[in-house]
Structure 1
Amino acid sequence: MLWSLLKIILFVALVTAAAFGVIYVMDQDGGLTLAVGGREYPFEPVEVLIVLIIAMIVFLILLKLAGLLIATLRFLTGDETALSRFFDRNRERRGFHALAEAMMLNASGDGKGALARAKKADRLLDRPELTRLVTAQAAEEAGDHHQAEEQYKAMLTDGRTRFVGIHGLMRQRLAKGETETALKLAEKAFAIRPRHEGLLSTLFSLQTEQAEWGGARRTLAAQVKASALPRDVANRRDAMLTLASAQESIVQHDFSNAGDAALEAHRLTPSHVPAAITAARVHQHRGSPRAAQRTLLKTWKIAPHPDIAAAFAALVPDESPADRRKRFEPLLKAHPENPETKMLHAELAIAQEDFPAARRAMGDLATTAPTTRALAIMAAVERGEGSEDKVVRGWLAKALSAPQGPQWVCSNCRTTHAEWSATCSNCDAFDTIDWLELPQTAASRSDSAAMLPVITGILGSDAEPEADEPTDMGEIDDAATDEIDLAAAAENRETEQVKPA
Structure 2
Amino acid sequence: LRGLYLEAERLGDRNAARHYAGRAAAVAPQLAWAAESTLEELTERGDWDGALKLVEGQKSTRQIERDAANRRRAVLLTAKAQALVDSDPNAARTAALEANKLAPDFAPAAVIAADLVIRQNDVRKGAKILEAAWKAEPHPDIAELYTHARPGDAVLDRLNRARKLQELKRNHAESSMAVARAALDAQDFATARREAEAAIRMDRREGAYLLLADIEEAETGDQGKVRQLLSKAVRAPRDPAWVADGVISERWAPVSPVTGKLDAFTWRAPMERLGQLIDSETDAAVPAITAAPPAAAPAEKAIDIVADAPVEKPLPANGGEKDAAVTEDVSEAETAGRGSELPPLPDDPGVAPEEEAEKSPRRFRLF
Aligned-partner Cα distance in 1 for 2:217–2:251: 30
CA distance in 2, matches of 1:401, 1:363: 16
Secondary structure, counterpart of 1:408 in structure 2: strand
> Is 2:24 the partner of 1:198?
no
Distance 2:39 2:211 in 1: 44
The residue number in structure 1 matching 2:81 is 246
Aligned residue among 158, 167, 171 for 2:5: 167
Change (3 A) 1:389 1:164: closer
**Contact 2:130-2:142 at 8 Å conserved across structures:** yes
Match of 1:328 among 116, 140, 162: 162
Structure 1 pair 203/177, CA: closer, same or farther in 2 (3 Å)? closer
Please list, as runs of the form range in 1=range in 2, the aligned pairs for 1:46-195 lying within 5 A after superposition: 163-164=1-2, 167=5, 171=9, 175-178=12-15, 182-195=17-30
Query: How far 1:185 moved relative to its partner?
Result: 3.6
For residues 279-298 of structure 1, the aligned pairs below 5 Å read: 279-298=113-132
Identity of aligned pairs, percent? 28
2:146 aligned to 312, 326, 331, which one? 312
Structure 1 residues 251-290: aligned runs within 5 Å: 252-290=86-124
SS at match of 2:73: helix
Partner residue of 2:246 out of 414, 429, 432: 414
Compared CA separation, residues 422 and 336, structure 1 to 2 (3 A):
same
Aligned twin of 1:392: 226
Is 1:217–2:52 an aligned residue pair? yes
Cα RMSD (Å): 2.4
1:234 paired to 2:69? yes
Task: Tell me which amino acid in the other structure corresponds to 2:5.
Answer: H
Higher relative contact order (CA 8 A, sep 6+): 2
The Cα offsets for residues 91-120 of structure 1, whole Å up to 9 and x where unpaired, read as xxxxxxxxxxxxxxxxxxxxxxxxxxxxxx
Q: TM-score, normalised by structure 1?
A: 0.52
Measure how far apart 1:390 and its partner are.
1.3
Q: Matches of 1:177 and 1:234 in 2, distance apart?
A: 25
Structure 1: gaps (5+ residues): 1-162, 447-501
Consecutive unaligned residues in structure 2, runs of 5 or more: 278-367
What is the CA distance between 1:403 and its match in structure 2? 1.0
Aligned residues: 279
Map 1:458-477 → 2, pairs under 5 A: none
How far off is 1:205 after superposition? 1.8
Secondary structure, counterpart of 1:360 in structure 2: helix
1:29 maps to none
CA distance in 2, matches of 1:360, 1:185: 61
Q: Which residue of 2 aligns with 1:9?
A: none
Which residue in 2 is equivalent to 1:357? 191
* CA apart distance, 1:166: 5.3
Aligned partner of 1:434 in structure 2 is 266
Letter in 2 for 1:224: K
Residues 166, 194 of structure 1: alpha-carbon distance in 2 compared, 3 angstrom cutoff: farther
Structure having the higher helix fraction is: 1
Equivalent of 2:43, from 205, 208, 221? 208
- CA shift in 2, pair 1:368/1:227, >3 Å: closer
Distance 1:224 1:376, change over 3 A: same
Distance 1:328 1:368 in 2: 18
Distance (Å, rounded) in 1 between the aligned partners of 2:265 and 2:6: 31
Q: Report deviation, 1:230.
A: 1.6
Which residue, 234, 238, 249 being the options, matches 1:404? 238
Distance 1:191 1:166, change over 3 A: farther
- Check conservation: 1:420, 1:433, Cα contact below 8 A: yes
Distance 1:414 1:168, change over 3 A: closer
CA contact (8 A) 2:173 2:198 kept: no
Equivalent position amino acid for 2:32 in 1: E
* C-alpha distance in structure 2 between counterparts of 1:171 and 1:407, whole Å: 32
Distance 2:175 2:3 in 1: 57
**TM-score of the pair, normalised by structure 2:** 0.70
**Map of 1:346 onto structure 2:** 180
Q: In 2 relative to 1, CA 242–367 (structure 1 residues): closer, same or farther, beyond 3 Å?
A: closer
The residue type equivalent to 1:176 in the other structure is D
* 1:272-320 Cα distance to aligned partner (Å, 9 max, x none): 1111011112212332111111111111122211010122234223432
Q: CA deviation at 1:387?
A: 5.8
CA distance in 2, matches of 1:221, 1:258: 20
**Secondary structure of the structure 1 residue equivalent to 2:242:** strand
| Aligned partner letter, 1:433 | F
Corresponding letter in the other structure for 1:403: P
Deviation at 1:242, TM superposition (A): 1.4
SS of structure 1 residue aligned to 2:171 = coil
Indicate how the Cα distance of structure 1 residues 286 and 183 shifts in structure 2: closer, same or farther if over 3 A, else same: farther
| 3-state SS, counterpart of residue 431 of structure 1 | coil
2:42–2:48: 8 Å Cα contact kept in structure 1? yes
Mapped to 1, the partners of 2:156 and 2:177 lie a distance apart of 17
For the 8 Å contact 2:77–2:95, the answer to whether it is kept is: yes
